[in-house]
Amino acid sequence: METSKHSIFEQLQRFTKNKKAVIGLPMKLTVSLIIGTIALVIILSYIMNPCMFPSQMIVSVNPIFNTISGNQPSELNITVFVNDTNGHTIKDAIVIIKGLGGIGSNYTDENGKTIINITVELAQNANEGYLDISVKAACHEKYIQDDLIKIVKQ
C-alpha cells in the first residue's frame, strides 16, 4: 500500500517539474476556446442571416400616375411587379404602399405580382400628393422609394 502512495507522489512531482506540461495545457485550452468561439460566431451569423450577399430587386408599379375626383377618400388598386436583376420573379416579397392617409400591403405571388388596395385622400387645398413604396424579400436588399406614385385631383 505504501509503495502505491509513494509512486503516485513521485509521478506528481515529475509532472510538476515538467514545465512544458504545466504551461502547454492552458495554452492549448486557450487556443481551443478561440477557435471554437470563431466557429460558433460563423455558424450563428449564417443562421441569423443566410444570405451573405443580398441582391437587388427591380420593382415596377402600374399605374404610377393616378387621378381621383374631389377631396373625398378614393380607393385605388395598384399593381406591383417584383423581379431580381436577372428578370426572375420574386415570390413572397412583402410590398407596402403608404401615404395620403392610407396604407396597404400584400405579398407577391409566384409571378412576382401583387395588387394592393389603398384608400387615399388629398388635403382640402391640395391638388396632388404622393405615395411611398417599400419592398422586402429574403436574400434581397430592401427597396424603398419615396414619392413614387403620384395622385392628382381631377
Tens of pLDDT, residues 24-55: 667 788 888 999 999 999 888 877 776 778 89
How far apart are the C-alpha atoms of 76 and 120, rounded to whole Å? 8
pLDDT < 70 stretches in the chain: 1-6, 9, 11-25, 50
How far apart are the C-alpha atoms of 131 and 151, rounded to whole Å? 8
Q: How many structural domains comprise the chain?
A: 2
Q: Are residues 132 and 67 both part of a single domain?
A: yes
Q: Are residues 42 and 80 both part of a single domain?
A: no
Q: Are residues 87 and 33 both part of a single domain?
A: no
What residue numbers bound the domain in which 110 lies? 57-153
Question: pTM for the full model?
Answer: 0.68
Q: Are residues 132 and 76 both part of a single domain?
A: yes
Handedness of CA 114, 115, 116, 121 (dihedral sign): positive
CATH number, residue 109: 2.60.40.10
Residues linked to residue 105 through DSSP beta bridges, in sequence order: 96
Distances (CA, A) of 35 to 22, 38, 42: 21, 5, 11
Q: Are residues 108 and 145 both part of a single domain?
A: yes
Cβ(48)–Cβ(132) below 8 Å: no
pLDDT at res. 144: 96
How far apart are the C-alpha atoms of 23 and 46, rounded to whole Å? 36
pLDDT at res. 25: 66
